Structures are given as structure tokens and as C-alpha cells.
């Protein structure tokens, strides 16, 4: 099985993508190990995070069981750099054919950004494995249900406004997976390295969606 397909299947099986975005970051391995312990083995590090490439490379070596993604990817060069650093999936807030092609050339999965039905379909036609609906807070779970009615082949990943209170609603509306950033891993915890509350939220989230079937 290709690395690209494997990443897509892992995302569809686990259905939760924790996202790290922050200027300061302490005890990253402690964070990763705690997330692994509660059953979250996928992690996205945004390229807006200082030292993102170095952190991706370090985690790829030290925690090989993780499915690592690079987020906030804005062009093909950035996609290639992230793949070379060890990212197994690329996430962009926009639809850019160059990003999709670079990811596919590197045999990594790509999650292309979209806001409208046209953008979502165009991203899929261009070769995106998954389509990131962003910002999801503006559209809500009902948008996914409406979008999937005429376009059931799309695999949608809402992000931006997904939190513990509505993650299950997005999944019930047909999301392939959901991304959670600050609602799960907040900037203050990243800064201080105190992740007890993060782990509590993560365990609660896993329990809430644990009974939902895999979407592979």
C-alpha cells in the first residue's frame, strides 16, 4: 500500500486530527506521548509554527508510530519541504494545483482547502485525497450534509471552529475526519508544557466519537 493511501486510511480510521499551532512549544514529546496514550496517533503541525520542519523531522525519527501532517501549506515548494522533513500528509487552507501535484509526486496525502461546492469539486478533480472545509465555523455541520447530497464522493475534513462540543455533529453530518486546533491543544499549554488539561480534553473527545464507525 502506498504511503499516500496509508495516511488517508489512518485519518479515516481515527477521524481526529489534532493541530499544533503556536509560537512557543515546550515538551513536545510529552504532548505526543500523552496523545498516543489516549488513542490519538495523528498530528498536524502548521507551517506557521516556528521550526515546523525541524519538529516534523525530529518526530518522524523519534515517534515513527505517528501519522504526521504539515498544515498551512501555501505553495508547492512548502509542500515538498514538508514531505522531505517527514510529513505524511499535507494540509492547505486553499485549493492550489501545485500543492496537490507536489504532494502526489512525493507519495504523501493531500488535504486541499475549499469553501464552496465548486472549490471542493475542483480540488477533488485535481487529485486531492481529502477536502478541507475551512472555516467550518462559518458553515456549520448542516453545510456538509447539504454538500454531500449531490457530491457524495467527496471526503470532507472540516476545520476552523471545530471543538469538543460540535466535533461529533460534524462527523454525524458526513465528515471523513475533523481537525481541532486551539480547542484541543491551546497555545498556553504549548507555551508552558503543562498538558494535563489537553489530555483530559483529548480523552473526552475520543470517548465521544469512539462509537462512530470508521470511514475508509
Q: For 99-155, what is each residue's pLDDT tens digit?
A: 999 999 999 999 999 999 999 999 999 999 999 999 999 899 999 999 999 999 999
Print the domain residue range for 162: 3-209
How does pLDDT run across 165-195, given as a tens digit for each residue? 999 999 999 999 999 999 999 999 998 999 9
Asked if residue 137 belongs to a domain, the reply is: yes
Would 215 be classed as within a structural domain?
no
Residue 177 lies in a domain: yes
Q: Could you tell me if residue 59 is inside a domain?
A: yes
CATH number of the domain bearing residue 30: 3.20.20.70
Nine-digit cell string for 79: 509542500
Confidence at 13, pLDDT banded by 50, 70, 90? very high
CB atoms within 10 A of CB 56: 26
173-207 in b/e form (b: 16+ CB < 10 A) is bbbbbbbbbebbbeeebbeeeebeebbebbbebbe
In a domain, 216, yes or no: no
How many structural domains comprise the chain?
1
pTM exceeds 0.75: yes
- Work out whether strand 178-180 and strand 89-91 pair parallel, antiparallel, or are unpaired: unpaired
Question: Computed from CA positions of residues 152, 71, 48, 188, in that sequence, does the dihedral angle turn out positive or negative?
Answer: positive
Catalytic residues: 44, 132
The answer to whether residue 130 sits within a structural domain is yes
Whether residue 214 is contained in a domain is answered as no
Amino acid at each position: 500500500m502506498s504511503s499516500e493511501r496509508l495516511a488517508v486510511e489512518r485519518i479515516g480510521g481515527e477521524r481526529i486530527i489534532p493541530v499544533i499551532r503556536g509560537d512557543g512549544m515546550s515538551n513536545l514529546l510529552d504532548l505526543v506521548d500523552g496523545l498516543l496514550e489516549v488513542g490519538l496517533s495523528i498530528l498536524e503541525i502548521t507551517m506557521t509554527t516556528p521550526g515546523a520542519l525541524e519538529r516534523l523531522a525530529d518526530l518522524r525519527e523519534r515517534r515513527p508510530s505517528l501519522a504526521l501532517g504539515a498544515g498551512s501549506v501555501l505553495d508547492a515548494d512548502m509542500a515538498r519541504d514538508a514531505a522531505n522533513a517527514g510529513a505524511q500528509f499535507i494540509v492547505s487552507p486553499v485549493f492550489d494545483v501545485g500543492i496537490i501535484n507536489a504532494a502526489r509526486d512525493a507519495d504523501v496525502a493531500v488535504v486541499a482547502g475549499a469553501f464552496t461546492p465548486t472549490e471542493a469539486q475542483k480540488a477533488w478533480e485535481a487529485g486531492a485525497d481529502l477536502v478541507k472545509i475551512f472555516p467550518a465555523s462559518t458553515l456549520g455541520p448542516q453545510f456538509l450534509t447539504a454538500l454531500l447530497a449531490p457530491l457524495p464522493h467527496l471526503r470532507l475534513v472540516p476545520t476552523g471552529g471545530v471543538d469538543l462540543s460540535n466535533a461529533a455533529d460534524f462527523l454525524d453530518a458526513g465528515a471523513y475526519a475533523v481537525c481541532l486546533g486551539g480547542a484541543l491543544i491551546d497555545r498556553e499549554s504549548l507555551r508552558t508544557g503543562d498538558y494535563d488539561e489537553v489530555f483530559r480534553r483529548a480523552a473526552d473527545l475520543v470517548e465521544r466519537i469512539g462509537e462512530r464507525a470508521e470511514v475508509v
